[in-house]
Chain A
């Protein structure tokens, strides 16, 4: 097995009295695509957000690309450049062009000159099929295009792992395919990915491993075929038959 990019151990997260993560372990190998499914409120987003410390875990340890993410001495802003994140609601900066969105962190965090950043940014936009939209603002783009710009914003920083939190849930059905296509290309180029999503078709033919979460624990995990066709837990079976009916 290739080296682990993400090693999370014993993650717990409390929101006040609410115990949301109850001891989650997650290893993600280099080039692996791990797909996370589970009912609403099971803690999928919280897990993902702990992996770049948008949420502070209450207990546990997280190593990403050899960096101890929870060590107070770790420069978290530096570490986050290696961890791309794509949100359900895109979260593009509406006052900037597509290229401006992609180059902001390149200039302000990675310290690139404007010229360098623009060149890298245009390349990233090309990669998501939007080379001709560099000068458009988010308001002038479709949802699918916005999400691809958001992906470009992450990949421009050359992250070691990318986290996707329901990247297609806010999209009209006819726009989902373009975003999944870009994710597929990323995966084929060897990007390590953790994807929370309900796109079972994508999981079946792109995921290396599927992880089922419920009530803050990982109930079971395995290859997509095993989890979808032959789950060993009733809760998994119930969840899968429920979403397949939709």
Chain B
């Protein structure tokens, strides 16, 4: 028991590792603030393109979305990080994570937003267009607000996954939470910093999970 506490909940080591872990937390938050909007932007572009029925847009779009949903994000990230330098592009870990998330999570956000847009009755657009709004204005002011509201639980749930996935950044030396914790662990020869990282992940994600549950319950109640 004593040994267990010594290796996993070592107070001395925790105190020493705290600044490093907090530094990692800060980077995880910054990384999330970068990749979530990027993914949403990529998703919005894909969802809007999905409205173009032209085959020259439709087929490449479908291939794109399928490809990046099937491609494991970790493999994509490593490929960018290790492969791009051979194409003469030294981008660094942060940029590689940004690109990989734009491609991977964008495809997921895109499918969610597309479902949201499809859930808005066509009469909404017709009413908007009949008052003179352009297609883009109808999309912006009438369709998208309803679309987002209709798929809010799915958007939240995907966002939760995206925040968790930022830990992949550790593989390409982005000093986010997991990476920093492992640094501290390798210096101290003690897994306590990893436990700390786990606790921090839980503390920042748990409120999101609760909020999501409430949204889902509300959506269920509204459907009844």
Q: Which residues of A contact B (CB under 8 A)?
A: 52, 54, 77-81, 83-85, 87, 89, 91-95, 104-105, 108-110, 150, 153-154, 157
Q: Is B137 at the interface (CB under 8 A from chain A)?
A: yes
Q: With A and B bound together, what is the CA distance between A85 and B141 in angstroms?
A: 19
Q: With A and B bound together, what is the CA distance between A83 and B127 in angstroms?
A: 12
Q: With A and B bound together, what is the CA distance between A83 and B145 in angstroms?
A: 26
Residues of B within 8 A of A157 (CB): 131-132
Q: Which residues of B contact A (CB under 8 A)?
A: 121, 123-124, 126-134, 137, 141-142, 145-146, 149
> Given A95-B146, A95-B149, A104-B141 in contact, is the A78-B123 Cβ separation under 8 Å?
no
Other CB < 8 Å A-B pairs besides A84-B130, A87-B123, A91-B124, 14 of them? Answer: A54-B129, A77-B132, A79-B132, A85-B130, A87-B126, A91-B121, A95-B149, A104-B128, A104-B142, A105-B128, A105-B133, A108-B141, A109-B137, A154-B131
Give the residue among B121, B126, B128, B132 with the most A Cβ atoms within 10 A: B132
> Given A94-B146, A95-B145 in contact, is the A109-B123 Cβ separation under 8 Å?
no
Q: Which of A54, A81, A150 contacts B132 (CB 8 A)?
A: A81
Q: Nearest chain-B residue to A77 (Cβ)?
A: B132
Q: Which of A52, A91, A108, A150 contacts B137 (CB 8 A)?
A: A108
> Given A95-B145, A95-B149 in contact, is the A104-B123 Cβ separation under 8 Å?
no
Chain A nearest Cβ from B123, distance in angstroms: 4
Residues of B within 8 A of A108 (CB): 133, 137, 141
> Given A104-B141, A108-B137, A108-B141 in contact, is the A93-B130 Cβ separation under 8 Å?
no
Report yes or no: B127 in contact with A91, Cβ–Cβ below 8 A. Answer: yes
Chain A nearest Cβ from B119, distance in angstroms: 12
Chain B nearest Cβ from A56, distance in angstroms: 13
Residues of A within 8 A of B142 (CB): 93, 104
Residues of A within 8 A of B137 (CB): 108-109
Q: Nearest chain-B residue to A92 (Cβ)?
A: B127
Q: With A and B bound together, what is the CA distance between A85 and B131 in angstroms?
A: 8
A-B contact pairs, 9 of them (CB 8 A): A54-B126, A91-B127, A95-B149, A104-B128, A104-B131, A105-B128, A108-B141, A110-B132, A153-B127
**Across chains A and B, which 10 residue pairs bring their CB atoms closest together, nearest first?**
A105-B131, A91-B127, A109-B132, A85-B130, A91-B123, A81-B132, A80-B132, A77-B132, A95-B145, A77-B134
Chain A nearest Cβ from B42, distance in angstroms: 25
Q: Nearest chain-A residue to B141 (Cβ)?
A: A104
Chain A nearest Cβ from B139, distance in angstroms: 12
Give the residue among A93, A150, A153 with the most B Cβ atoms within 10 A: A93
Chain A nearest Cβ from B32, distance in angstroms: 28
Residues of A within 8 A of B134 (CB): 77
Q: With A and B bound together, what is the CA distance between A95 and B140 in angstroms?
A: 13
Report yes or no: B126 in contact with A91, Cβ–Cβ below 8 A. Answer: yes
> Given A77-B133, A77-B134, A81-B132 in contact, is the A87-B141 Cβ separation under 8 Å?
no
Chain A nearest Cβ from B141, distance in angstroms: 6
Q: With A and B bound together, what is the CA distance between A93 and B130 in angstroms?
A: 13
